[in-house]
Amino acid sequence: MVLIYLVIAWVVGLLAADLLQLPAETAGLVGFVGLVLAACGWRWPALRLMGLCLLCCGMGSVRYSMAQPTTTPQSVWLLAGQGEVTLQGFIAADPQRNDEGQQVLLQVEAARVGETAQPREGLVLLNLPPYPAYRYGQRLLVTGELRQPRAAQRIGEFDYRTYLARKRIFALMREPTVQLLPGRMGNPLLLRLADYRDHCRALLLRMLPEPHASLAVGILLGLQSSVPDDVYGDFSATGTSHILVVSGWNFTIVAAMLAAMASRLRLGRGATFWLSLAVMWTYALFVGASAAVLRAAAMASLVLLATASERRSHPWTLLAAAVGLLTMHDPQALWDLGFQLSTLATASLFAFAEPIGARLKRLSFFNWPGLGWASETLTATLAAQVLVLPLIMFHFSRLSIVAPLANLLLVPVVPFAMLAGAIALVGGLLHLELGQWLALGVWLPLAWLSEGVRLLAGLPWAEVRVPIFSIWILLAYYAIISGWYIWQATQVEEDAQPAPASPLQSHGDALS
Tell me if the bond preceding 467 is cis, omega within 30° of 0.
no
Dihedral over Cα of 428, 429, 432, 433: its sign: negative
Longest Cα pair distance anywhere in the chain, in angstroms?
Answer: 100
Q: Where are the alpha helices (DSSP H) in 21-132?
A: 24-40, 45-67
Helix, strand, or coil (residue 371): coil
Rounded to two decimals, the pTM is 0.82
Q: Which of 212, 152, 99, 149 is nearest to 450 (CA)?
A: 212
Average confidence (pLDDT) per 10 residues, the chain, 512 residues: 87 89 84 83 80 89 88 87 88 81 89 84 89 87 89 73 88 89 86 87 88 85 75 84 74 70 72 78 80 81 75 81 89 88 87 82 67 71 86 85 85 84 88 88 89 87 83 88 82 58 38 32
Phi, psi for residue 294 in degrees, rounded to 5? -65, -35
Domain residue spans of the chain: 2-67, 76-186
6 and 60 Cβ atoms separated by less than 8 Å: no
Looking at residue 82, its pLDDT comes to 83
Instruction: Report d(CA 127, CA 202) in Å as an integer.
Output: 24
CA distances to 112, 125, 182, 221, 257 from 107, in Å: 15, 9, 16, 25, 38
Looking at residue 125, its pLDDT comes to 92
Fold of 76-186: OB fold (Dihydrolipoamide Acetyltransferase, E2P) (2.40.50)
Tens of pLDDT, residues 113-146: 877 788 889 899 999 888 888 888 899 999 988 8
Looking at residue 290, its pLDDT comes to 78
377 and 465 Cβ atoms separated by less than 8 Å: no
CA distances to 210, 249, 336 from 216, in Å: 10, 16, 25
